[in-house]
Structures are given as C-alpha cells and as structure tokens.
Amino acid sequence: MKRPTTVLLTALAPVSWGTTYAVTTEFLPADRPLFTGLMRALPAGLLLLALGRVLPRGVWWGKAAILGALNIGAFFPLLFLSAYRLPGGMAAVVGSVGPLFVVGLSALLLGQRPAARTVVAGIVAAFGVSLVVLKAAGALDPLGVLAALASTASMSAGTVLTKRWGRPDGVGPLALAGWQLTAGGLLIAPLAFLVEGAPPALDGRALGGYLYLALANTAVSYWLWFRGIGRLTATQVTFLGPLSPLTAAVVGWAALGQALTPVQLAGMALAFGATVAGQLRTGGTAVRTFGPTGSKPRADRGAQGGEKAEEIEKAEVAERIK
C-alpha cells in the first residue's frame, strides 16, 4: 500500500482518540478512570484475540506484557485520571509533547539522530495545540498534570519499543493489538477493583459510551495505529498525535457548542502544519528492528514484511467470519 494511504489510515486513530474527552465527560460515570480504562481495553483486546486466534510464543509473552503495560495498562488509567482532574485543554497540551519524547527515545533506542527540523516541528506542534486549547485550562491540579505527563511518556516509550521489536514473522497488527490490549486490560482489572471498588451502575448512555470506546475508539483505532508503526517511522507515527487534541477542539465546537476564536484557528493551522512536516522523510540512520528472539538485529522489514503478514491475517479473518 502506498505511503500516503498508510499515513491517512494511521491518522484515523488519533482522530478517533480526540473524541475520548467528550465521551468521557458527557457519557461516562464520574471519577472512574481505572474502570473506564478497563472497559475500553479488555473487551477490545478479547475481540481482537477472537478474530486473530494467534497467541504470543516464546519471548513474545514477555514483550507483549511490556508493550501492553506501556501502551495500555499504564497509559489508559493515567489518561483518564488526567481527563477527570484537568480541563481537556491542559491535558491535551501536556500530551502534545509526545513527539519530542519519541524523538529522544528514538535516538536512544533506535539509533535515529534527531533532525533539527523534526525537533522544531515538535515544538511548533505543541505550541499550536496550546493556542487551541489553553483558554480552558483554569486552575491546575498537580496530580492531573503529573498523570498527563506520565501517560504521554508511557505511550511514547511503548511506540518506540513497538517499532524496535517489530512483530513475529507471520503475525499482523490485528494480533499485536489484541495481545497488548488484553495484557493491558488484565493489568488494569485488579487495580480497578482494589482502588475503585465494585463497578458502578450503568445506564444506557454509559453503556453506549463504553461500547463506542471499546470498538471504534480502541479495537479499530489501535489496529490501525500498530499497523502504522510497522510501516512508518516511530517519529512519523507520533507526529500524528496532535490530531487528537485538534479533533477534540472540533468536536467541542460542533457537538458541545464551544466557540473557536481566531487565535485557536491559527493554533490549529500551526499544529496541523507541524503534523504534515513530521511526515516528511529525512536522511539518516535506517531503523533497526529485532527478530522474534530479540537477540539478533536485522533490517526493518518495512512495507514488504508488513504487507505479507497483513495479507495472511486478512485471509484468516475473512475465513473465520464466513
């Protein structure tokens, strides 16, 4: 598949995640970040496991657990904790520094020297997002800020490690997403019951919100996200992240009656321009991923390996659905 199409499909993930703030505040029970993270992760993971019917083997049990903890198990509760304790604007601004985190981690773990243009684009993206959302920041909650920062760091580390480790031969992004969502959901489950107690009573509005989060916002979106990580660089993928707060601002304007000022529109233009700049290729060291054993480095399989695994996966899923 051509790279622009891959970028566009991967971008659907952060666009979907941009609706999380509105769904959380408008549809879900208050002050239940762990339960909300559990309801978002575990049903989606079990669904993808049922479709893929592929379990990890060997060292991939440990790798799936680590990636599931970083991308899901830690990220989801911290994300919802920040969403509950901070205005959506401030949580989004803290999250928008993700590209800078990934640039640094890519240099450390992938051997990719950051280009000056990439660093500047990351700063511009964060500045643009701040113009869009900071007007609603209000009083800052220290725990909320810390949770937002930790969630961004966790997701950034998970993105870079996902790129470093790649996927086992013959395993597609659907299975990889299922492993991580299930592992993360199982990590969240005991914490949710220990910290928050029994599940809250859910009305039809809450059930609809959780159903949306589990299916479109998580199962489909994370499949597209991990598919994109396999085909693009970690930096290119994470530069799609600012689309999430931009989408949140548009949803607030279209669905919640929130006005957009000229300054906000200028910030959206800056952040979107930085996102596009982050997709441009730069010269430098090729990304190296690691084989199934994690011991022998090899060249990134790129589109060819990803397409082969994906063709196998599509054929298997189509056969099971029949």
Average the pLDDT over 156-166 and give the result: 93
Q: From the CB of residue 254, how many other CB atoms can be counted at a distance below 10 Å?
A: 11
Res. 191: pLDDT tops 70 = yes
Q: Is 166 left (phi over 0), alpha (psi -120 to 50) or beta?
A: left
Res. 181: pLDDT tops 90 = yes
pLDDT band at 70, cuts 50/70/90?
Answer: very high
Query: Residue 301's pLDDT is what?
Result: 42
Looking at per-residue pLDDT, the higher value among 2 and 172 belongs to 172
What stretches of the chain show up as alpha helix (H) in DSSP? 3-17, 20-27, 33-52, 60-68, 75-85, 88-95, 98-109, 116-133, 142-165, 173-196, 204-214, 221-231, 234-238, 243-255, 262-277, 302-321
The predicted-structure confidence for 118-134, as pLDDT tens digits, reads as follows 888 888 888 887 777 66
Q: How far is CA 151 from the centre of its chain?
A: 10
Provide DSSP, 199-255. PPP--HHHHHHHHHHHIIIIIIHHHHHHHHHHHS-HHHHHTTTTHHHHHHHHHHHHH
